[in-house]
Amino acid sequence: MTREAMLYESLPDGQARCLLCAHRCLIKEGRRGVCGVREMSEGTLYSLVYGAVIAENVDPIEKKPFFHLFPGSLSYSLATVGCNFRCRFCQNHEISQLPREGGGIPGRDVSPAEIVARADALGARTIAYTYTEPTVFFEYAYDIARLARKRGIGNVFVTNGYMSEEALTTISPYLTGANVDLKSFRDEFYRQQCGARLQPVLDTLGRMKAAGIWLEVTTLLIPGLNDSEEEIDQIAAFLAGLGKETPWHVSRFHPCYQTMGLPATSRERLRLAREIGRARGLKYVYIGNIPGDEGENTFCSGCGRLLVGRRGFFVQESMPRDGVCMHCGTPLDGIF
């Protein structure tokens, strides 16, 4: 399940510079990059997770979350182990941090063609590269995505946005959409909580918009770490600058992994974030992880009428078939 890596350069001293993400790791012989799944061996950089599926499910597209990309459809979702972040609050740390924490690189050997065939047989409109960071299994995702596009199946990344410009340029012709975690608007947060930096994520968001990839953004609001009114407003202002049609999902945090001592996000804080986003002009601001809240629904940006009703990950009221409000004719942004 190893494959020569894409996007690296060999250096004269027997090392390699990985060009896959913003860490741009300098990897010595016999060592691995930050992600724990790319290893230098005898002058060649290898991916150790090609075809090594650790998680594989059919999910509602809303679970990713995507609310404006084929609403109500199924998405064939998969992941390998590994991540280029070390988030202290990771909800999938059992698989994302497995290589780093000494658990090896397990997985079922599944070819790209098998993944696409399974997705097609189950009627999935998209294949989602999710659960862990898809950038670290880039070669596998790239081969699947090209086959899926030929079969008429879309591809979506659920990502931390730390991919390099080279990686995004390579995958973008096959990428239908991306949901990017904008975890904070503070570089200090990224350094202390994730082992990364803020600016590369902001750069990726801008590049995705410029490339025409359908973009949705998620922020997990963590009490005391990234949920001040000032920071929420800064995130909202940045997203409005990208495009007011950009859906923003503000999600409830539940204590996990290395943050068990923190409380869950209050419903009031989430609703405040939604109001701040709307005040900044964002058309679609959603509340996540509180099933039944009004903030799960899609309303027309023109007349304010309900267009898509949801509970959790499931659509309960049908949306306009042509992506246009049936009440006032205002277009609903997205891919339908």
Q: What is the pLDDT of residues 34-47, one digit of tens each?
A: 999 999 999 999 99
Q: Note whether 65 and 205 are same-domain residues.
A: yes
Q: Note whether 24 and 56 are same-domain residues.
A: no
Residue 317 is assigned to a structural domain of this protein: no
**Residues 80-94, mean pLDDT to the nearest whole number:** 97
**Residues 119-127, mean pLDDT to the nearest whole number:** 98
116 with 51: CB under 8 angstroms?
Answer: no
Task: Give the domain CATH number at 84.
Answer: 3.20.20.70
Q: Note whether 70 and 163 are same-domain residues.
A: yes
- pLDDT of residue 174 exceeding 80, the answer is yes
Q: How far apart are CA 103 and CA 87, in angstroms?
A: 17
- pLDDT of residue 208 exceeding 80, the answer is yes
Residue 324 is assigned to a structural domain of this protein: no
> What does the mean pLDDT of the chain come to?
96
Whether the model clears a pTM of 0.75, i.e. scores above it, the answer is: yes
Percent of the chain predicted with pLDDT > 90: 93
Alpha carbon 186 to its chain centroid, in Å, reads 19
- pLDDT of residue 319 exceeding 90, the answer is no
Q: Note whether 225 and 265 are same-domain residues.
A: yes
**Residues 282-295, mean pLDDT to the nearest whole number:** 96
Q: Note whether 124 and 27 are same-domain residues.
A: no
Q: Note whether 164 and 229 are same-domain residues.
A: yes
Q: pLDDT category, 320, cuts 50, 70, 90?
A: low
Number of domains in the chain: 2
Q: Note whether 74 and 215 are same-domain residues.
A: yes
Length of the chain: 336
Q: Supply the range of the domain harboring residue 24.
A: 3-47
Q: Note whether 238 and 256 are same-domain residues.
A: yes
Phi first, then psi, for residue 78 (nearest 5°) are -150, 165
Model pLDDT, residue 13: 86
Model pLDDT, residue 103: 76
Q: Note whether 115 and 174 are same-domain residues.
A: yes
Residue 249 is assigned to a structural domain of this protein: yes
Residue 106 is assigned to a structural domain of this protein: yes
Residue 305 is assigned to a structural domain of this protein: no
Residue 329 is assigned to a structural domain of this protein: no
Q: Which tokens is 80 given?
A: 């390998």
Residue 217's beta-bridge partner residues? 180, 248
Residue 317's beta-bridge partner residues? 309
Q: Which residue has the tokens 């080279």?
A: 166
Q: Note whether 19 and 78 are same-domain residues.
A: no
Q: pLDDT category, 312, cuts 50, 70, 90?
A: confident
Residue 13 is assigned to a structural domain of this protein: yes
- pLDDT of residue 62 exceeding 70, the answer is yes
Q: Note whether 126 and 170 are same-domain residues.
A: yes
**Residues 207-228, mean pLDDT to the nearest whole number:** 98
Q: Note whether 130 and 211 are same-domain residues.
A: yes
Model pLDDT for residues 145-157, shown as the tens digit of each residue: 999 999 999 999 9
Model pLDDT, residue 336: 87
**Residues 19-24, mean pLDDT to the nearest whole number:** 98
Residue 314 is assigned to a structural domain of this protein: no
**Residues 258-280, mean pLDDT to the nearest whole number:** 98
15 with 75: CB under 8 angstroms?
Answer: no
Q: How far apart are CA 122 and CA 116, in angstroms?
A: 10
Q: pLDDT category, 220, cuts 50, 70, 90?
A: very high
